Amino acid sequence: MNGKISVTLIVPAYKEEEFIEETLKNYLQIFTESKIDFEIITVIDKVYDDKTDEIVKKIAKNSKEISFVIREGKKGIGSAIKEGIKKAQKDTILIATAEISEDPHDLLKMVEKMNDGYDMVFGNRFYANAKREGYSKKQYFANRLCNYTIKILFKINSNDITNGVKVYKSSILKNLKLTGTSFDIFAEIPIKAYQNNNHNFIEIPLKHYAREKIYSKFNFKRESKLFFLMVLKCFFNK
């Protein structure tokens, strides 16, 4: 392990046959070159018209670092992440994406930052002069509103608390009681981690490339409602 902490990459995947092969191969290359001890757990929601599971199985045959869980039907990204957390075996957990939304080199930097003694490392898409390609004004407004609401209610000094791409000590996530079923889990995890007195975190810049609308799994109206309901739930149950 060369004195470095180890990491589990959790990759939820639902209908990702267009992206999953390139994504996993990029993760394999970057983390293998880093000499970090790592594993990749891909949690796949399998539906009849998709071949994501077949692609992952093929890559896993030649890559001992990759394991996978195949679930029949659309179970949701929230339960996929919870499944990955249960199975994670390394010191830290990085929640990653199944498509090319982030630069894998940025993800590696986040993991390496954990070696400085942090409990959590957050990726910040809203750093000065950041270019968020494909990110609509509507998404930007809703994100900023949700982020500032969380900042005020929970006193978490983060500029991108709702971003799902974060690194945590595994012990933190394994001790959380998570209820989120969809993208709302990305607000729930850092809020509950912070409520459990895990305040030792840092944010670092994370380049983000929003996926085209035809590929997006994010239903803006539905997910916005779930996000704010989750925030209120965490606030009144604290």
Q: Measure the CA–CA gap between 110 and 149, rounded to whole angstroms.
A: 25
Q: What is the pTM of this model?
A: 0.92
pLDDT in tens, 190-205: 999 999 999 999 999 9
Question: How much is the average pLDDT of 171-194?
Answer: 96
Look at residue 132 and tell me whether its pLDDT is greater than 80.
no
- Say yes or no to pLDDT of 41 above 90: yes
DSSP character string of the chain: -TTPPPEEEEEEEES-TTTHHHHHHHHHHHHHHHT--EEEEEEEEE-TT--HHHHHHHHHHT-TTEEEEEEES---HHHHHHHHHHH--SSEEEE--SSS-B-HHHHHHHHHHGGGT-SEEEEETT-TT---BT--HHHHHHHHHHHHHHHHHH----S-TT-S-EEEEHHHHHT------STTHHHHHHHHHHHTT---EEEEE--BBPPPTTT----HHHHHHHHHHHHHHHHHT-
Confidence of residue 215 (pLDDT cuts 50, 70, 90): very low
More confident residue, 199 or 4: 199
pLDDT at site 218: 59
Q: What pLDDT score was predicted for residue 174?
A: 98
- pLDDT at position 21, please? 97
Lowest mean pLDDT among 77-86, 191-200, 229-238: 229-238
Rounded mean pLDDT, 178-183: 93
Q: Report the pLDDT value the prediction gives residue 16, as an integer from 0 to 100.
A: 94
Question: What pLDDT score was predicted for residue 222?
Answer: 83
